[in-house]
Amino acid sequence: MRRSSPDETSLAWMKLENLAPLVARGDVSPVDLVGLAARRIERLNPRLNAFLALSLESARRQALGAERELRSGKRRGPLHGIPISLKDNIWTRGIPTTAGSRLLERFVPDEDATVARRLRRAGAIVIGKTNLHEFAYGVTSENPHYGAVRNPWDTRHMTGGSSGGSAASLAAGIAWGSIGSDTGGSVRIPPSLCGVVGSKPTFGRVSCYGVLPLSVSLDHVGPMATSITAAAWLLSAIAGRDRRDPATLAAPNPPGDFAHSLRRPLGRLRIGLPREHFFDAVSPDVAASVEAAARVIERLGAKIQEISLPETGPSVEAAAEIAFAEARHYHQSAGYFPARATEYGEDVRRLLERGGEIRAADYLADIDRMRQARRDWNRMIEGFDALLVPATPIAAPVLGRKTVEIDGREETVRAALLRLCRPANFTGAPALVLPCGFTREGLPIGLQLIGPLWSEERLLRIGYAYEQATDWHNRHPENI
Q: Would you name the residues annotated as active-site residues?
A: 87, 162, 186
Of 249, 339, 341, 365, which lies in the binding site for its own copies, with binding defined by CB under 8 A?
365
Closest CA to 424 of 320, 351, 315, 326: 315
**Residue range at the interface with its own copies (CB under 8 A); choices 77-85, 257-265, 355-363, 417-425:** 355-363
Nearest distance, CB of residue 362 and its own copies, angstroms: 7
**73 φ, ψ (degrees, to nearest 5):** 90, 5
Nearest distance, CB of residue 194 and its own copies, angstroms: 34
Residue 341 near its own copies by CB under 8 A: no
Of 219, 326, 385, 457, which lies in the binding site for its own copies, with binding defined by CB under 8 A?
326
Contacts of 356-359 spanning 24+ positions with Cβ under 8 A: 356/328, 356/332, 357/324, 358/321, 358/324, 358/325, 358/328
Closest CA to 200 of 213, 218, 214: 218
Torsion angle of the four alpha carbons 13, 17, 21, 23, in this order, in degrees rounded to the nearest 10:
50
d(CA 295, CA 299): 6
**Cβ atoms 230, 196 nearer than 8 A:** no
**Residue range at the interface with its own copies (CB under 8 A); choices 120-128, 138-146, 272-280, 349-357:** 349-357
At 434, the amino acid letter reads L
Of 328, 414, 419, 422, which lies in the binding site for its own copies, with binding defined by CB under 8 A?
328
Nearest distance, CB of residue 361 and its own copies, angstroms: 4
Closest CA to 345 of 102, 141, 144, 133: 144
Q: Are strands 150-151 and 142-143 parallel, antiparallel or unpaired?
A: unpaired
Residue 339 near its own copies by CB under 8 A: no
Nearest distance, CB of residue 324 and its own copies, angstroms: 8
Nearest distance, CB of residue 369 and its own copies, angstroms: 10
Residue 212 near its own copies by CB under 8 A: no
Residue 364 near its own copies by CB under 8 A: yes
Residue 325 near its own copies by CB under 8 A: yes
Nearer to its own copies, 291 or 362 (CB): 362
Helices 228-238 and 456-469 cross at an angle (nearest 10°) of 160
Of 305, 333, 412, 474, which lies in the binding site for its own copies, with binding defined by CB under 8 A?
333
Nearer to its own copies, 111 or 368 (CB): 368
Residue 359 near its own copies by CB under 8 A: yes
CB atoms inside a 10 Å sphere around CB 309: 16
Residue 3 near its own copies by CB under 8 A: no
- Secondary structure class of 207 (helix, strand, coil): coil
Nearer to its own copies, 308 or 360 (CB): 360
Q: Cα separations (Å) of 85 from 59, 168, 169, 387?
A: 11, 10, 7, 30
Residue 357 near its own copies by CB under 8 A: yes
- Element housing 277 (H / E): helix 275-278
**Cβ atoms 67, 81 nearer than 8 A:** yes
Torsion angle of the four alpha carbons 128, 134, 136, 138, in this order, in degrees rounded to the nearest 10:
-130
Q: Cα separations (Å) of 436 from 91, 272, 390, 391?
A: 33, 17, 9, 10
d(CA 277, CA 17): 36
Angle, vertex CA 199, rays to CA 198 and CA 205, nearest 5: 155
Number of residues that bind its own copies (CB under 8 A): 19
Residue 371 near its own copies by CB under 8 A: no
Residue 65 near its own copies by CB under 8 A: no
Q: What is the DSSP letter of 90?
A: B
Nearer to its own copies, 360 or 382 (CB): 360
Q: What is the DSSP letter of 186?
A: T
Nearer to its own copies, 130 or 215 (CB): 215
Nearest distance, CB of residue 478 and its own copies, angstroms: 47
Residue 429 near its own copies by CB under 8 A: no
Residue 363 near its own copies by CB under 8 A: yes
**Residue range at the interface with its own copies (CB under 8 A); choices 142-150, 279-287, 358-366, 392-400:** 358-366
At 129, the amino acid letter reads K
Nearest distance, CB of residue 327 and its own copies, angstroms: 9
Residues in the chain: 480
Nearer to its own copies, 357 or 441 (CB): 357
CB atoms inside a 10 Å sphere around CB 240: 18
Nearest distance, CB of residue 259 and its own copies, angstroms: 35
Residue 305 near its own copies by CB under 8 A: no
Nearer to its own copies, 46 or 335 (CB): 335
Nearer to its own copies, 213 or 272 (CB): 213
Of 332, 378, 439, 468, which lies in the binding site for its own copies, with binding defined by CB under 8 A?
332
Nearer to its own copies, 251 or 259 (CB): 251
Q: Which residues sit at the interface with its own copies, rule CB under 8 A?
A: 324-326, 328-329, 332-333, 355-365, 368
